[in-house]
């Protein structure tokens, strides 16, 4: 599949209807994943808080994990070293272990695995990996899925805005800084990683209101300020919206506000994700780098093994 076809596949992925059948009682949910698979747990954690949700992006699991824990390993390839290590540890502690993967060792090891289609770049399979979590713990209405589909479809057909923005970044060699806010802090991180992997550029992120306690100082007084370009997600939280305005006013910086055509959580989530898909893809094209190339990461994995 071409990379552009992978991007266009996202709207199909949100229809993925598999879910876990969790029959036991549990006290907490631990989700283990790295990179493009790890972001899935972070997105879910920001939305769902009826139980404590702990995400692990590392070797090793928390001490509290026990037979009252739902433990979910997510790895697109099914062969991510850190995640396999953690699934083994969780099994030893008698947690209820589940997995989301396209196959690999993870599918072999975890009986309760949801198998998703293979053949994509892991970062292009975000919808497949995320939907089982929503379907299981926090189902999304059909009409919202349908509206989201239409939003993504119209972005697939026309992403001139993202192409123009990519050109601006390219012409100025800007480094993007993305300022998210809840429930889309994890999406700011997703933007960063898409710039890293697709465009091969640095990118950084922070979020309101936390950045008002630190990044606000250099925004006004640092050197190299002109080399950055700031992206901020429009918020329907009035306190956050006010912070966005005042931060620009007192620092003199001007943010590019990304405004979704909707305030509904799920629709906005995928709009913001897809915006970065196209922005970082277009930036790769204009920089003449291959958006699918992650050879440096692959080289590292092979040297480690």
Residues pairing with 54 in the sheet: 30
Instruction: Tell me the closest approach of the beta carbon of residue 203 to its own copies, in angstroms.
Output: 8
Q: Does 158 help bind its own copies (rule: CB under 8 A)?
A: no
Q: Does 58 help bind its own copies (rule: CB under 8 A)?
A: yes
Residue 231, token pair as written in the block: 């992206």
Length of the chain: 305
Scan residues 98-117 and list those touching its own copies (CB under 8 A). Answer: none
Which is the catalytic residue, given 6, 46, 89, 197? 197
> Of 158 and 214, which CB lies nearer to its own copies in the complex structure?
214
Q: Is 197 a catalytic residue?
A: yes
Instruction: Tell me the closest approach of the beta carbon of residue 161 to its own copies, in angstroms.
Output: 23
Q: Is 12 a catalytic residue?
A: no
Which is the catalytic residue, given 213, 221, 249, 288? 213
Residues pairing with 138 in the sheet: none
Q: Does 24 help bind its own copies (rule: CB under 8 A)?
A: no
> Of 151 and 178, which CB lies nearer to its own copies in the complex structure?
178
Instruction: Tell me the closest approach of the beta carbon of residue 149 to its own copies, in angstroms.
Output: 28
Q: Does 175 help bind its own copies (rule: CB under 8 A)?
A: yes
Distance in angstroms (rounded) separating the CA atoms of residues 7 and 291: 11
Strand order in the sheet with 113-115: 53-56, 28-32, 69-75, 96-101, 113-115
Q: Is 274 a catalytic residue?
A: no
Helix or strand (DSSP H, E) at 232 = strand 228-233
Instruction: Tell me the closest approach of the beta carbon of residue 200 to its own copies, in angstroms.
Output: 4
Helix axes 265-287, 160-172, angle to 10 degrees: 50
Distance in angstroms (rounded) separating the CA atoms of residues 165 and 279: 7
Q: Could you count the other beta carbons within 10 Å of the beta carbon of residue 111?
A: 9
Residue 240 makes CB contacts below 8 A (sequence gap 6+) with 181, 208, 209
List the one residue from 17, 18, 59, 236 that touches its own copies (CB under 8 A): 59
Q: Does 247 help bind its own copies (rule: CB under 8 A)?
A: yes
Which is the catalytic residue, given 19, 105, 200, 301? 301
SS3 call for 229: strand
Task: Judge contact between 90 and 44, C-beta under 8 A.
Answer: no
Q: Does 210 help bind its own copies (rule: CB under 8 A)?
A: yes
SS3 call for 178: strand
Q: Does 196 help bind its own copies (rule: CB under 8 A)?
A: yes
Q: Could you count the other beta carbons within 10 Å of the beta carbon of residue 86?
A: 26
> Of 263 and 296, which CB lies nearer to its own copies in the complex structure?
296
Q: Which residues bind its own copies (CB under 8 A)?
A: 27-28, 34-36, 38, 49-52, 54, 57-60, 62-64, 82, 173, 175, 182, 192-193, 195-197, 200-204, 207, 209-210, 212-225, 227-228, 237, 239-240, 242-243, 246-247, 249-251, 289, 294, 296-297, 299-301, 303-304
Please give the positions annotated as active site.
197, 213, 301
């Amino acid at each position: 599949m071409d990379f552009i076809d992978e991007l266009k596949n996202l709207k199909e992925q949100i229809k993925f209807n598999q879910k876990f059948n969790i029959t036991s009682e549990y006290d907490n949910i631990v989700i283990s994943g790295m990179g493009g698979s790890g972001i899935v747990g972070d997105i879910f954690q920001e939305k769902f808080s009826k139980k404590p949700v702990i995400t692990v992006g590392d070797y090793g699991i928390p001490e509290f994990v026990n037979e009252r824990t739902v433990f979910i390993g997510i790895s697109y390839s099914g062969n991510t070293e850190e995640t396999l290590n953690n699934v083994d540890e969780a099994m030893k502690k008698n947690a209820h272990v589940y997995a989301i993967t396209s196959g690999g060792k993870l599918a072999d090891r975890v009986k309760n695995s949801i198998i998703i289609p293979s053949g994509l770049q892991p970062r292009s399979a975000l919808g497949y990996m995320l939907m089982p979590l929503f379907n299981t713990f926090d189902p999304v209405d059909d009409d919202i899925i349908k509206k989201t589909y239409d939003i993504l479809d119209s972005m697939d057909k026309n992403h001139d805005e993202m192409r123009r923005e990519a050109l601006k970044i390219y012409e100025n060699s800007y480094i993007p800084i993305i300022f998210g806010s809840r429930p889309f802090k994890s999406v700011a991180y997703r933007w960063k990683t898409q710039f890293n992997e697709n465009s091969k550029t640095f990118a950084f992120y922070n979020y309101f209101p936390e950045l008002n306690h630190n990044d606000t100082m250099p925004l006004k007084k640092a050197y190299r300020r002109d080399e950055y370009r700031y992206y901020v997600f429009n918020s329907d939280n009035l306190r956050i919206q006010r912070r966005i305005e005042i931060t620009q006013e007192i620092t003199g910086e001007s943010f590019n506000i990304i405004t979704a055509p909707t305030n509904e959580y799920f629709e906005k989530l995928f709009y913001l994700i897809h915006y970065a898909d196209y922005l970082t893809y277009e930036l790769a094209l204009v920089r003449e780098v291959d958006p699918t190339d992650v050879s440096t990461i692959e080289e590292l994995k092979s040297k480690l093994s």
